[in-house]
Amino acid sequence: MAVMSVLVFVGIYMIGDPLAILVSPEATELDREAIAKSLGLDRPMWEQYLTFVTSALQGNFGKSFVFGQPAINLILERMPATLELALIATFMSVVIGVPLGLYAGLRHETVAARAIMAGSVLGFSLPNFWVGLMLIMVFAVQLGWLPASGRGPTMEVLGIHVSFLSLTGWKYLALPALTLGLSKCALIIRLARATAREVMLMDYVKFARAKGLSEKRVIGVHILKNIMVPITTVTGLELGSLIAFAVITETIFSWPGMGKLLIDSIVHLDRPVVVAYLIVVVFLLVIISLIVDILYSVLDPRVRLGEAK
Amino acid sequence: MTATLQVENLETQFPTRDGIVRAVDGVSFSVDAGEILGLVGESGSGKSITGFTILGLIDPPGRIANGSVKFKGEELTTASPERLRSLRGSRIAMIFQDPMMTLNPVLRVDTQMIETVQAHEKVSEKAARARCIETLQSVGIAAPEDRLKSYPHQFSGGMRQRIAIATALLHKPDLIIADEPTTALDVTIQGQILYEMRKLCRDTGTALIWITHDLSVVAGLADRIMVMYAGKIVETGAIDTVIERPQHPYTRGLIGSVPGAMPRGKRLFQIPGMAPAPLNLPPGCRFKARCSRADAVCDTMPELLELNPGHRARCHHPFDAKPLSPAEVVS
């Protein structure tokens, strides 16, 4: 995270001078200097970085140049919306992707399996924004079933605003989550299929059949539990990237999440927000990979530590 | 009395892009209760496929093209998948070659054993667990209550094979098909397992088909032996007769290639050439290309003929039914 903070800080410093955007063209040179001073932009870069690090360690990521609020608050305020969207998209892609992939792997010569695989190629190759726009066209504009943008009314649970508890919330969630989840779903289908084809040839699957187990148990326990190991890894990684880079989907659907905030902040060269955003994302990724590691040891006893006898 | 297993003219085929592979080609044999049949052959001779065919576990697109498999008088080739499932693991059990691969790495041993009990009998988990503990004890696993809670990777190869054997024994089957179960094990453990399996068959009247490429393993274990070559049986008979007086040149070659059959210091016998490609089998005797005795007659397929009582060989030029001397093997 330390490395990340340096990279981001220097990177954003190089991009441009926020004063050029913040200060109106009619302002005098004196005004400019006053604003620069108040924001601390007159000092050299290393000094700015040091100030940033010392206050960041105390939980203060600075104030947004644009909103005048603490940057971290801006981000945390919008985080639940993004997290909810990303989690539901991931959940959908696993729930749909694993059974389809499993089927395509086990019955790989059937027409249905080939159709699934062809569909997954589409899911992969269609660009995100196009899918989003098409979904809006069909479901919001033509059919009028679902709202095209925004998050709609939310419910408050433990101080966090969430949408997934009400039907209206789901209506708002459906299209962006589908857009976001589609390519992940395609990825999981392909992964599940490949591992299922590998696992079904293993001796222990044949042995499970030789023990007289029902096909349901052979597939549902012996094969499924083995393919869940790689799927968990990939899902974890993909969840991280969904949270961090849901930008496009959030922009299309005007979803009030972190991604939209990031885009706005970059446009305005709002350094504290961008830096704080990336730090938060890195932190989330670390947490997610920790969770994946823990899940991993639940699923695969061979990676458990301290149990070897 | 009906034999435990009666196989008639069994043909298992695998259609491939280049033609049909006849992995098992007209194989007939029977096993009685308490009898141990050694099924010997090199890789690709069809011996393992024979085992899987009996259990109905041929992977598609492989299929049984012809013949019958009768288990205690019941035809299995036409039995329903559900009937086959109910027989597998309870009346007919199978043990696999590689103990490192036969247990599912992500499931605990108790899960894998108890599911086997419960797949065939409606018993409580507690009763099933008790049965597993008892069976594990009988195959020589110490402290089975604790070991049941372990995962396969916490066991050595020999222990895993014992667990696989115990799993096969849970329902006291009438027939066990063992596909080279000791190949991957240390020689000492191999000896123990062979001894225990033999004792088990004698005590319980379980019929055993022991599939192997290792003649020396079968020699001390089996009652009868059946040698397969390129999908066909080439010689069959009582173990002592076949080992001491092999009639088929292939069997003779196999025996000659076992260390110990030759005087010390001499080069082991090697059967020249390679087994024929399964897609491109020569007409007539399938061994003729590697056989020193082959002539024009061998272009027609020899029948499996009884040359001595209970001893049959598929050869136009069988060796005399007299004991084999080391010098003869090389000639």
Q: Are residues A141 and A21 in the same domain?
A: no
Paired with B63 in beta bridges are B13
A231 vs chain B: nearest CA distance in angstroms? 15
What CATH number should be reported for the domain holding residue A80? Answer: 1.10.3720.10
Question: Which of the listed residues B170, B188, B208 is the one where a domain comes to its end?
Answer: B170
Position with higher pLDDT, B11 vs A274? B11
How much of chain B exceeds pLDDT 90, in percent? Answer: 1
Q: What is the pLDDT of residue A309?
A: 37
Q: What is the pLDDT of residues B111-146, one digit of tens each?
A: 888 888 888 888 888 888 988 998 888 877 888 888
> pLDDT of A79-129, one tens digit each?
778 888 888 888 888 898 888 988 888 887 788 888 888 888 888 888 878
Q: What is the pLDDT confidence band of residue B189, given thresholds at 50, 70 and 90?
A: confident
In a domain, B263, yes or no: yes
- The CA-atom distances, in angstroms, between B313 and each of A108, B58, B76, B182 are 43, 28, 27, 28
Confirm whether A62 is domain-assigned: no
In this complex, which of B87, B89, B151 lies closest to A301 when CB atoms are compared?
B151
Same domain, A44 and A90: no
Low-confidence winner among A105-119, A259-273, B21-35, B137-151 (lowest mean pLDDT): A259-273
Taking chain B, what is the end-to-end CA distance rounded to the nearest angstrom? 44
B150–A309 CB contact, under 8 Å: yes
Q: How confident is the model at residue B331, as a pLDDT? A: 44
Q: Are residues A53 and A91 in the same domain?
A: no
> What is the pLDDT, as a whole number, of residue A28?
66
Of A71-80, B44-53, B223-232, give the lowest mean pLDDT range. Answer: A71-80
Does the beta carbon of B70 lie under 8 angstroms from any beta carbon of chain A?
A: no
Given a contact cutoff of 8 angstroms between Cβ atoms, the answer to whether B30 and B94 are in contact is no
Neighbours of A109 (CB within 10 A): 8
What is the rounded average pLDDT of the residues B294-301? 81
Please give the pLDDT value at position A249.
81
Confidence band for B293, pLDDT divided at 50, 70 and 90: confident
Alpha helices (runs of H) in A16-142, residue ranges in sequence order:
18-22, 29-39, 45-57, 71-106, 111-125, 128-135
More confident site: A41 or B176: B176
Among candidate residues B136, B170, B204, the one where a domain is terminated: B170
State whether residue B133 is helix, strand or coil.
Answer: helix
Nearest by CB: B104 against A208, A212, A299: A208
Residue of A212, A217, A299 with shortest CB distance to B106 = A299
CA distance B291 to chain A (A): 36
Which of B170, B193, B225 is the last residue before a domain boundary? B170
Number of H helices, E strands in chain A: 14, 2
Tell whether A28 and A78 lie within a shared domain. Answer: no
Q: Do B57 and A206 touch (CB under 8 A)?
A: yes
- pLDDT of residue B321 exceeding 60, the answer is no
Q: What percent of chain B has pLDDT over 70?
A: 94
Question: Could A217 and B115 be called an inter-chain contact, meaning their C-beta atoms sit closer than 8 Å?
Answer: yes
Q: What is the pLDDT of residues A195-232, one digit of tens each?
A: 988 888 888 888 888 888 888 888 888 888 888 888 88
DSSP state of B152: G
Set of chain A residues whose Cβ sits within 8 Å of the Cβ of B119: 211-214, 217
What spatial distance separates the first Cα and last Cα of chain A, rounded to whole Å?
37
DSSP letter string over B89-112? TTTEEEE-S-HHHHS-TTS-HHHH
Binning chain A into helix, strand and coil, the percentages to the nearest 5 are 75, 5, 25
In the prediction, which pLDDT does A264 show?
79
Q: Is B114 on the interface with A (CB under 8 A)?
A: no
Question: In this predicted model, what pLDDT tens digit does every residue of A180-205 receive, in sequence order?
Answer: 888 888 889 989 998 988 888 888 88
Q: Is B317 on the interface with A (CB under 8 A)?
A: no
Q: Do B87 and A203 touch (CB under 8 A)?
A: no
DSSP secondary-structure letter at A121? H
pLDDT category, A42, cuts 50, 70, 90? Answer: low
Please check whether residues A131 and A265 belong to one and the same domain: yes
pLDDT at A307: 46
Tell me whether residue A22 is in a domain.
yes
> Side chain identity at B263, as an amino acid letter?
P
Q: What is the chain A residue with the closest CA to B167?
A: A211
Query: Between chain A and chain B, how many beta carbons pairs sit less than 8 Å apart?
Result: 81
| Chain B partners within 8 Å of A302 (Cβ) | 105-106, 151, 153
Q: What is the mean pLDDT of chain B?
A: 83
- Residue B298's pLDDT band, with cuts at 50, 70 and 90, is confident
Mean pLDDT of all residues in A280-291: 83
Interchain proximity B106–A300, CB inside 8 Å: yes
Set of chain B residues whose Cβ sits within 8 Å of the Cβ of A307: 154
Same domain, A87 and A175: yes
Query: Which pLDDT belongs to residue B262?
Result: 62
Question: Are residues A85 and A180 in contact, defined by beta-carbon separation less than 8 angstroms?
Answer: yes
Say if the Cβ atoms of B105 and A204 lie within 8 Å.
Answer: yes
- Has residue A301 got a pLDDT over 80? no
User: pLDDT value at position A308?
Assistant: 42
Number of folded domains that form chain B: 2
B144 in any annotated domain: yes
User: Is B285 part of any domain?
Assistant: yes
Do B238 and B310 contact (CB within 8 A), yes or no? yes
Mean pLDDT of chain A: 77
B156 touches chain A (CB under 8 A): no
pLDDT tops 50 at residue A166: yes
Give B235→chain A minimum CA distance, Å.
Answer: 29
A308 found inside a domain = no
Same domain, A9 and A132: no
Between strands B63-71 and B5-16, the pairing is: antiparallel
Q: Looking at residues A160-166, what average pLDDT do you find?
A: 65
Residue B261 belongs to domain spanning:
246-330
Instruction: Write down the ipTM of this complex.
Output: 0.81
Place of tokens 């059919």: A143
- Residue B56 in domain: no
Overall domain count for chain A: 2
Least confident of A93-107, B206-220, B249-263, B301-315: B249-263
Q: Which domain holds residue A185?
A: 71-303
Q: Which of A204, A217, A308 sits opposite B101 (nearest CB)?
A: A204
Tell whether B131 is covered by a domain: yes
**Same domain (yes/no): A137, A258:** yes
**Residue A59 has what pLDDT?**
64
CB-CB contact of B213 with B285 (8 Å) = no
Residues 188-207 of B with CB under 8 A from A: none
Interchain CB distance below 8 Å, A302 and B167: no
Most confidently predicted of A55-59, A105-109, B86-90? B86-90
CB atoms within 10 A of CB B150: 17
